[in-house]
Structure 1
Amino acid sequence: MRRSAAQKEETRKRILEEAAMAMRVQGHEGISVADLMKRAGLTHGGFYAHFASRDDLVAHAVDRMFNDSRAILRQYLGEKPDADGLAALIDFYLSEHAMLRMEQACPLPTLSGEASRLPKAARLRFEVGLDTFREGIRRALESSGVRDAEGLASSVMAEMIGTMAMARVMSDKDRALAILSASRHNLKERLGLAMK
């Protein structure tokens, strides 16, 4: 019996979800098509019914991850970003929960270091995701009356991404949490945001 288009789309979504989780934790080189399909409860041979190649999968998984990031931006910054929303975004992004739940968190701390080695289509989609995130921060800074919101947005993003990457490599959880806390405090203080 032939599977319906809806069933095929649901299967594709499941594969992408598994790929996005794997990439957030292991990077794009950590994705094995055979392991991925097994985790999705599918056969290795079924992969090519959904993707032209592993590179095609990686590009679509990057899209999937940044869809989640855009949802986070909408949640905290919305259509009219403000200082409170930006402070809440910083608190969320640099939280213990985000540190421990890599498979669900923003892909930037994990993948930024290897983005230049992603397949071309994935690299271009990664850049779009990065620009979208930076633009959300820029708009929030600008609406808060910050001068040079463009330049500052890049600096804020770099600190958030770097802080989370650094915290995740710490073997001492208390030390990692202290790094996150210090960065949250210092970023909000530097930006003149209400301390939360």
Structure 2
Amino acid sequence: MKKSKAETAETRRRIVEVAAREFRANGIHATGLNELMAQCGLTRGGFYRHFDSKEHLVAEAFESGIATLMADLEAAARQGDESDGFRSIVARYVGAHHRDNIAGGCPLAGMGSELVRSDNDTRAVASQGIHAFVDMLATRKDGEHPDEARSDAMFALAAMIGAVTLARILVEPADSQSALQSVKAHLDAL
């Protein structure tokens, strides 16, 4: 029996959602298509009805993950003092909750080192996500010249990703927390 367009779209959405979580949690290369599709109640053969390749899925999973993250960070910025949107975003990103939520966290921190080796199309999607993230941060740098705000935002994003990545690697909880706090303090001073 043939699926409706709505059912097909829902299946694709579910595959992307599961893939986004699994790629962040386990890495792109360590996540096999058989296991991923099984989590969706599907077979590997069904994968190719939705995607041309694993790289195609990686690109869509990244795009979905960054959109979800940015929506969360935008909400954090709106909840805080309007003049402190930048700090609210930094606090939400460079925190223990984000560090501990690998599967649901930032795809740049979770997949970044593997995205470097992805195909050009996947890297182009990741680049768009990076630019959107930098733009979101730059718009929260009130009173700065746009070029300076964008430079500060690019620096902040790199520091934020690095802080979360280092904090996830460090074995000692105190060292992990110190990495987050140190970077957050420097970013708060921007």
TM-score, normalising length from structure 1? Answer: 0.87
Q: Does residue 22 of structure 1 match 2:22?
A: yes
**Cα offset for 1:73?**
3.9
SS in 2 for 1:118: coil
Amino acid of the residue matched to residue 146 of structure 1?
E
Q: Does residue 50 of structure 1 match 2:24?
A: no
Alignment of 1:12-161 (within 5 A): 12-77=12-77, 82-141=82-141, 144-147=142-145, 148-161=148-161
Q: Distance in 2 between matches of 1:52 and 1:115?
A: 18
Is contact 1:73-1:133 (8 Å) kept? Answer: no
User: For residues 109-133 of structure 1, what are the alpha-carbon distances to aligned partners after superposition, in whole Å with 9 as ceiling and x for unaligned?
Assistant: 1222232211221110000000100
Aligned residues: 186
Note the aligned Cα RMSD (angstroms). Answer: 1.8
Could you list the runs of 5+ residues in structure 1 that have no partner in the other structure? 192-196
TM-score, normalising length from structure 2? Answer: 0.90
Q: Distance in 2 between matches of 1:155 and 1:83?
A: 20
Runs of 4+ displaced beyond 3 Å: none
Match of 1:179 in 2: 179
Q: Does residue 2 of structure 1 match 2:10?
A: no
Q: Distance in 2 between matches of 1:120 and 1:30?
A: 20
SS in 2 for 1:137: helix
Q: Distance in 2 between matches of 1:87 and 1:55?
A: 34
Is contact 2:14-2:40 (8 Å) kept? Answer: yes
Q: Distance in 1 between matches of 2:77 and 2:131?
A: 15
Q: Distance in 1 between matches of 2:39 and 2:132?
A: 30
Match of 1:11 in 2: 11
SS in 2 for 1:179: helix
Is contact 1:22-1:30 (8 Å) kept? Answer: no
Kindly tell me: are residues 14 and 76 of structure 1, through their superposed partners in 2, closer, same or farther at Cα, counting changes over 3 Å?
same
